Each structure stands twice: as C-alpha cells, then as structure tokens.
A = this chain, B = another copy of it.
Amino acid sequence: MKQLTDQKVNDYLTHLGKFGHLENGGVTRLVYDDDWVAAMAFVLDDARRRGFKTAIDSYGNGFMSFPGKKSQQIVAAGSHLDTVNQAGLYDGAYGVAAAILAMNELVDQYGQPNQTMTSVAFSEEEGSRFPTSFSGSKHYAGVQETDPTLRDKQGITFSQARKLAVSQLADRFPIVEQPLPSEFFEVHIEQGPVLEEKGLPIGIVSAICEQKRFTVTVHGQANHAGTTPQHLRKDALKAAVRLIERLDEQAQKIGEPLVFTVGELTVAPGSANVIPGTVTFSVDVRHPEQAVVDRFENFLRAQAVVAPLVRVDVDRWMDSRPAVMDSRLVHQFEQLVTQKGLNYLKLPSGAGHDTQIMNLKVPTAMLFVPSKNGISHSPAEYTAPADLRAGIDVLKAQLYQECYE
C-alpha cells in the first residue's frame, strides 16, 4: 500500500517533468514558454478530472479549488510551475503536486471541506526568463505588478509573453482574479544539505531569511608587478583578500544560521604581471533576523572605511526583509509531525520562496523535505519517494485541521 502511494507523487512529477524535458534528464520550463503553457494546462486538466474547480488569473497563475461548505474563507497551498535553466523535477513542481494530492486525498477520504481549499500553481518564481522574480505570487498577493516592458533574451516583453500564454489557456479555463486566502502553505525541497545530514524527513521553516547583497569595489593602483616594491603598492586584490578574511571571521563569530558568500570576484586589469588596480566582488549575507544582517552590514561598512591604502565602495543592491512564519501554524505543524512519529528540525530558509510574498499579506507556514546531497537547480536534484510522501502527509494533516475541524 505504502509502495503504491509513494508511486503517485513520483508519477505526477515525472509526468510534469516531461514539459520542458532535456536530454540529460533535467527540465527547462521558463514562464510563458510553450512547455510552461503545456504544463499549466496539464496541471489544471488533471485537477479538473480530480474534481477541483479550475481557473487562471491574468498572470496565468493556476487555481484549483474545492469550495467549502461553511465559509468563503480560503485556505491555500502551492508553489511555482516555472524552473531555472537546467533544473530538476522537484523545485516548485513538488509543492504544486503536494497541494493537489493532499487536497484530492482529503476530499476522497472526508468529503467536501468546511473551508475552501485551493491549490495554487504560481506562474513564475525563479526569475530565469525575465529580470524579475516572484511575479506570480506578487500579483496574486496584490504586492506588486510586474513591469510589462521587461524583455527576455529574445527581446520579447513580459506583457507580450504573458498575453500570448494566457490566451492559449483561456479557451479551456476561465480567467478570474482571485481573492486572498486566509492562510498559505508551501512544501518545498530544502535545496540544502541540513536535513539529509541530520537524517530528518521534515523541516519546519521558522522564517525565510533576511538577505542583503552588495557589490564591493576596491580601488587600488595598477602597477608593474616586477618593479614596484611591496611597500609602494596599493594592491587592490590583497586589500580585497584581507577584507574578505575579516568578513569571514565576523561571519564565524556570529555563527550559524548566518551564511556569508562571495560568489563573484573580478580583477582589473587582470594580468599575471600587473598589480591589480581594481577588484570588484559580491557579498551575499542571510540570517533569519534582520538585526543580525544589519550588524554584518555595519561591520562591512566599517571595515571598508579603515582599509589601508585603498578606497572601498560598498553598494547594497538587494535588501529583502525576513518573512517570519505564523507561530500558530508552525506550532501546529510541529505537533502534527510529532503525532506521525516523525522527527523534524525547525530551521530558517536561506533561499527565497513564494511564501515570503504571501507572508506580506497573510499568515504562512512552510515545510521542507530533504534534498539529496543538498543539490538543487540541477538535473541531479533528488528527494526520496518516502520523503516526498511524508511532506504531503504533514501538509494533509495541517489542511485537515484548518479546513475540516
């Protein structure tokens, strides 16, 4: 019986993964492309066959509902249907599948819910086609409309792509702007190694991290690497190296769950025999508490000022506030997981998710399931069937509490 059940979510994800399938086993399904339209049509058609009422909104977000007996209040769950380039089968897709399968099973077992249950397949979260992200949840939550003039690499505007894709779905599904739910749930692969390392099947997200990104530019002086004595150098790279070391020491002092990454670094002029004149590097820092990230920023700016011999510019270009999950819903998740005899970890999410947008308007809670080797955004993305099932079971129990009791 367990075996059969496990197969269900696998089959769903394998089928969904055919839309945008790559020869290497991965998936590329960018918002509003042909594969995306086919995937959204599949998800909605399949849900309609399962008894859901289906609709899309003007952004192509997919909505699949079981209307409640008692109230207009909507309990929603879901994730996004788009992928990064060269993605795996799980990121986003699993959260859509989990919501649909959980609600489908609840109605099969317990009949019509008291509250309306809605599965949501968001149009876009990854930012992999247009230079924007979370456009689907931002529209649904009424947080922000996307600039219609944004262009993809082919020069197609967001507006053109959106209208074409929505028109292709509109003959089969009504276009209806949706009211906000009263609460929102998302299950997602962890995309990190923590649950696997600890051997735990479930993570309960405490908060989605505050995240800041900076571009740091160190201005030194380019010079001949052979003829300029050490004491007369203004070596931008050595100054950058020292600064990064200080930042890393600070990161270690603060300790986990803070993460600090320098992912980009370029050297100019960039010749083996020329002392670097300018070094530019990125700083990405995340922590569930805004105050901690603010302190790290202050440290960075203070270090920049005192760097000897060079001038350091610090430009902050991303500052996303932390999204703290709803304490009641989190506590309920903890109880439900424990009742199922499962162990769990409460942990912050270092990655961004649609939930952080929904969290701006409604109470939210979020589950993680383990990612093999912590890998995501890769065809090698994998979560064991039993873990996929556990995530659905816990979501199902939560939805039962919220929609039936």
A residues engaging B (CB < 8 A)? 190-194, 197, 209, 211, 213, 223-232, 235, 237-238, 241-242, 244-245, 248, 251-252, 256-267, 270-276, 282, 284, 286, 349-352, 374-377
B-side contacts of A241, CB under 8 Å: 241, 244-245, 248, 262
Q: How far is the CA of A257 from the CA of B374 in the complex (A)?
A: 48
Most buried by B among A194, A224, A251: A224
Q: A259 touching B228 by the CB < 8 A rule?
A: yes
Q: Which residue of chain B has its CB nearest to the CB of A270?
A: B264
Q: Which residue of B193, B238, B245, B251 contacts A228 across the interface (Cβ within 8 Å)?
A: B193
Q: How far is the CA of A68 from the CA of B190 in the complex (A)?
A: 86
Shortest CB–CB separation between residue A223 and chain B, in angstroms?
Answer: 6
Copies in the complex: 2
Q: Which residue of B228, B259, B262, B350 contacts A192 across the interface (Cβ within 8 Å)?
A: B228
Q: Which residue of chain B has its CB nearest to the CB of A272?
A: B282
B-side contacts of A284, CB under 8 Å: 225-226, 272-273
B-side contacts of A260, CB under 8 Å: 230
Q: B248 touching A238 by the CB < 8 A rule?
A: yes
Q: B261 touching A194 by the CB < 8 A rule?
A: no
B-side contacts of A225, CB under 8 Å: 259, 261, 263, 284, 286, 350
Q: Which residue of chain B has its CB nearest to the CB of A254?
A: B230
Q: B374 touching A223 by the CB < 8 A rule?
A: yes
Most buried by B among A211, A272, A282, A351: A272
Q: Which residue of chain B has its CB nearest to the CB of A190?
A: B227
Q: A211 touching B230 by the CB < 8 A rule?
A: no
Please name 15 pairs of A and B residues whose Cβ atoms are closer than 8 Å in the assembled complex, sorted by A.
A192-B224, A192-B227, A193-B227, A226-B349, A226-B351, A228-B259, A229-B259, A237-B244, A241-B262, A263-B271, A263-B276, A264-B270, A264-B271, A264-B272, A265-B265
Shortest CB–CB separation between residue A133 and chain B, in angstroms?
Answer: 11
Q: B235 touching A256 by the CB < 8 A rule?
A: no
Q: B264 touching A267 by the CB < 8 A rule?
A: yes
